[in-house]
Amino acid sequence: MFRFFENLIDPFRSSPNATPPAKLWPYLKSHYAGFGKLMAFMALSGVIVALIETGLIFYTGRVVDLMTEATPQTFWATNGTELLLAALFILFLRPVAILVNHLFLEQTLAGNMQEQVRWRAHRHMLGQSLGFFQNDFAGRLSNRVMQLGPAVEDSTYMFFEGIFYATTYVLSAMVILGQVDPWLSLPLAIWLVLYVLYVRYIAKRVGVASEKWSDARSLVTGRIVDAYANIESVKLFSQGEGEERYALSSLRRLRLRFQRFLRLMTEMSFGLNLLNGFLIVGVLGTAVWLWSQGVVSVGEVAAASALVIRLNGMSGWIMWVTIRLFEHMGVIREGLRSIAVEHELTDAPGAPALALSDGKISFEGLTHHYGKGVGGLDNVSLTVRPGEKVGLVGRSGAGKSSLVNLLMRFRDPEGGRILIDDQDIRQVTQDSLRAQIGMVTQDSSLLHRSVRANILYGRPDASEDLMVSAARQAEAHEFIQTLEDPQGRTGFNAHVGERGVKLSGGQRQRIAIARVMLKNAPILVLDEATSALDSEVEAAIQKTLYGMMEGKTVIAIAHRLSTIAQMDRIVVLDQGRVIEDGSHDELLAAKGTYAGLWDRQSGGFLADE
C-alpha cells in the first residue's frame, strides 16, 4: 500500500531543461505540473476529513440532546441503532478517510516533492559555467539547493494539511452554527474577517523577514564551508582568529535577523490571543443567551462550545502554518536568486555532436578580455595541424590559460571563433566537445571518492585492467597500493578526501594524469601537467606522456621550457598576442623573446621578469 502511493510520482523523471521561473508562483506551478490530478485527490480527501471532524462535534451536541430528551431506561432502546452506526463509522470509516488523506499527503506529496525540487535545481546548477561557481560560495549555492526542497514540499503540504483543511473546517462550522441560529454564526464571521486581515498583515512582514534571515543563513554557511575547504591555508598562515572574525560578523547578522523574525512571532501570539478571546466570548456568550431565551437546546450550546474551543486551539495552529508558509516563501525567493539563473553557456538549438576526423584546431581572430577591455587575448589567430604538438609559452597573464579555457568552451570569446575540423565549437554540443579533449590542469583537484572512482571518471566503462594499466603508466600504481583511509579502505578503494587533500600534490597530479590517459581522447591539452612532480617522477612520466601524444593533436602550456622543447612548434604569447611561432631550434636561432627567456630561465623555470 505504501509503495503504491509512493510510486504514483517519479521525482527524477525527465523534465524540460529550461531555466526555472524566477517568480514564486510560476516556479511552484512548474513543480506542481506532474502532481495535477493527484492534488485534486489530496484536496478532496482533506475536505472529507474536515467535514467528518466538524460533523463529529455537531453530533456530540445531538447526543447530549438525545440524553436530555430520554430517560436512562429508554435511551438505549430508542437510540441504540443510531449510536451503533455512529460508533462503527467512528471506529472504521473515519480512520480510513484520515489514512487516505495522509497517504496522499505524506507518501505521494512529501515523499517526492522535496527530492524533485532538489534534483531539478542541482541538475540546472550543473549546467552553469565555471564563472558562475567562481563568483559565489560553493557552500551558499549548495545550501540554497538543499533548503529549496523542504521549503517547497513543506509549504505545499501545509497548504493542504493546514490551510485547506482549516478553511473547510471553519466554513462548515459557520454553516452548522448558522443552522442552529444565525446569531451564533455572526461572531464567528466577524472573527474570521479580523483573523484573515491580521494573518495577512503579519504574514507579509514574516515573508520579508524570512527572506533576509535565509539570506544571512546562506552567507554563514558559505563562509564556514569556505574556511573548512581551505583549512590548510588557514593553518598555514595562522588565520584562525581572522576566520573567527570573518564568520562572527555574518553570525551577528544572522542573529539580528533571526531576532527580528522572533519579534514577529511574539507579536503574532499576543494578537492571536486577543482575537480568540473575542471568539470565545462572542460565540459562547451568544449561545448561552439564546439558551436562556429558549431558542437553542443544551446540546446545541454544547456543540457550539466544542466548536469554539476547537477553533481556539486550531487558530494558533492555522496562524503558525500560515506564518510557516510565508517563511518558506522567503526561503524559496532567496534560493531562486541562484537557481533561477539562465545558463551563460548553452548548446545551440539542435546542435549536433562534434564529428572529429583529423583533430585540426583553428583559432581565428580570437579576442577575449573578460568584459574588462584589457588582459586576456587580443585578435589571436593560430592553427594547430592534425597530430601536431604545440607548446604555449609566456609569462603569467600572457593569455595561455585563456586560450585553452576558450578551447574547452568554459567561456565564449568576445570576438572571433574556434574551429575543430572546420566545425565552430559553439555550434556543437559542449559534452561532445569535451569528450574529444583530454586535459590535465596544474591544479588537479579530485573528487571526495575512491581512487578507482577518480581514475574511472575519465572513462566510466573501462575495465579494471585498463584502469590499473593507466595508473601504472602515470607512475601512480605503487603509491596507490600503500593508501588507507580512516574507514579502513585500502589501495584503489581508499577515499582521497575533499579535493584530494589526503594526497600530496604530486600524487594528485599522477592520478589526474592516469585519468586522462584512460580517457584516451584524440586531442590532448596539458596545462602545467607535471608542475607538481619531482624531477625523477617527472622524467618517468614525460616518457609516458610523449608516448601518449602519438597520433594526437597536443597543446601544452609550460613555464619549465625544457618540458616543451621537443614539441613540433612553440608559440610565444605576450599581452594576449602571438609574438613568435616556430620550433625550439628556430626560435633560439631567431634570438628573439623565446631565446631570451631560454637563456634567463632559472632551474628550468620561466621567470616573470
Q: Is the pLDDT of residue 536 over 70?
A: no
Check pLDDT > 90 for residue 540.
no
Res 75: pLDDT = 83
- Measured CA to CA, the distance from residue 337 to residue 333 in angstroms comes to 7
Q: pLDDT tens across 296-310, in order?
A: 888 777 877 777 777
Q: Give the Å distances, CA to CA, from 121 to 108, 144, 151, 335, 338.
A: 20, 9, 13, 10, 9
Q: Pick 11 or 375 by higher pLDDT.
A: 11
Q: Strand 553-557 vs strand 523-527: parallel, antiparallel, or unpaired?
A: parallel
Residue 140's pLDDT is what? Answer: 81
Residues 6+ apart with CB under 8 A from 319: 195, 199, 202, 268, 272
| Residue range 541-573, pLDDT digits in tens | 677 777 778 888 999 988 778 778 888 999 999
Interatomic CA distance for residues 91 and 317, integer angstroms? 26
Host H or E run for residue 198: helix 182-229
CA dist 126 → 36, 146, 343, 345, 370 (Å)? 28, 14, 10, 12, 22
CA atoms of 444 and 448, how far apart (whole Å): 13
DSSP string, 499-536: BTTTS-HHHHHHHHHHHHHHH--SEEEEESTTTTS-HH
- State the DSSP code for 605: B
pLDDT of residue 494: 93
Of the listed ranges 235-239, 380-384, 391-395, the least confidently predicted one is 235-239
Single out the residue of 383, 422, 375, 419 nearest to residue 400, CA to CA: 375
pLDDT (tens digit, 9 = 90+) per residue, 321-357?
Answer: 777 787 788 888 888 988 888 888 888 889 999 999 8
Sign of the C-alpha dihedral computed for residues 473, 478, 483 and 489 taken in this order: positive
C-alpha cell at 511: 592520478
Task: For 499, list phi and psi in degrees, rounded to 5.
Answer: 60, 15
User: Does residue 148 have a pLDDT over 60?
Assistant: yes
Does pTM top 0.85 for this prediction? no
- Distance CA(272)–CA(274), nearest Å, equals 5
Q: Which of 554, 202, 600 is nearest to 361 (CA)?
A: 554
pLDDT in tens, 254-275: 899 888 888 887 887 788 778 8
DSSP 35: G
> What domains can be seen in the chain, in order of their start residue?
20-339 (1.20.1560.10), 352-436+521-609 (3.40.50.300), 447-508 (no CATH)
